Structure 1
Amino acid sequence: MSLIQSFKSVLAPPNRAAFPFLALTGGIALLGRATPWRITRALGNIGAGGFAFCLYFFRDPKRFPPPRAGLVLAPADGRVTSVELVSPPAALGMGEEPVWRVATFLSVLNVHINRMPVAGRVSRVAYHPGQFVNASLDKASELNERNEVALTLDDGRQVAVVQIAGLIARRIVCHVEEGSIVEAGERFGLIRFGSRTDVYLPPGVTPLVGVGQTMTGGETVIAHL
């Protein structure tokens, strides 16, 4: 991502999921600053800080997916923490054959909008309540609260994307349902506030990214189908 793109990303307008938080913190800021008492003015300053943080956290920059078919794109901004051969999530009915999983960890400083890695049909959505251990740990894929989405491609192969709540995150938002038709790079949800997003590739498809690589959701190519 270029310096200009990074600057635009920081100044991007917020996602609609931010509106309740902006209303709350903005209201506290206005009420606190409008009173003459020191304690309420301090509360107003806290509200203003919260308002600024919500603007930053929920920023929703435009992304431009590569104009090529047959690509698997990063589902989120962040850093790749693992690339492993593992069995797909059992609830998605994708079989037990090990496939490549690319895990991306999102810190509170990353853009938290989740994007579809491929174009296809949503064939299964499975939500699992769970714990909130550090999302960068491998065990988070089985222990933490998570939302699993299976996507069926035109040729019948399947790709899975999993939203995983983290140590601070306490809310997973997913806007798609079973039967939805989606495009690669399309927004489909977010996780508040710090999380992880995994992609499971079809059998025989090898990832092109490695541990430690920085991802740009909807733009970075994970693999060729």
Structure 2
Amino acid sequence: MPHHLLGIIDPEVDFSVHNFVHHALLAADAIVQKNQLPIIAGGSNSFIQALLNNDTELPSKYECCFLWMDLAIPFLHSYMSRRVAQMVDNGLMEEAKIFFDPEIRDYDNGIKHSIGVPEMDEFFRSEGLVDGETRTKLLKAAIDEIKMNTCKLACRQVLKILRMREEFGWQIHRLNATEVFLQHGGDANEAWEKLVLEPSMNIVARFICKENIDLKPTAYEQLV
């Protein structure tokens, strides 16, 4: 499946909501012209809200189906903490340092505004100025701050989804994936297929084909 709008913007350049709406509409139209289904995956809820605002072309041209894969908050925070640790192991520090400038503290533009970059500032500035023990403490503090800010962002995203439901009346299908993260190995794969994949495919099939497919109430929750 081809992906769109990846790698099209310089990391140093601000990518506004207006920019996203413009590029997303062009991509959606191009996909539909090929008789394919556009899928908007992930991203900022503010961007999605702007794309589906009545001021844009998309709501007047296309029907929309909303799928929301959710986790219970404690599991969501635990997963994100592990994910941040994994990102550190995979080179987060080296990637963030590319955007570090010892002369200025400007983290308001482009990718520098993203979680994972400004939190590392003090650690990078301490290089060659403090002992190893202090550096270790500064690194731990930076990683802890990244984890905290990531969890705060997740909570804001959930609240934003609920507000979009209330303010705009969107019918949002909530897929509870908590059980998937409680399982391991083959059991996790089975839970994923039962609680996320199968209900998602059924919801989309019903949306596209207008089929009257009965969904198990335990598999998903429709927020109306």
Q: TM-score, normalised by structure 2?
A: 0.23
Structure with greater proportional helix content: 2
Structure with greater proportional strand content: 1
Q: TM-score, normalised by structure 1?
A: 0.23
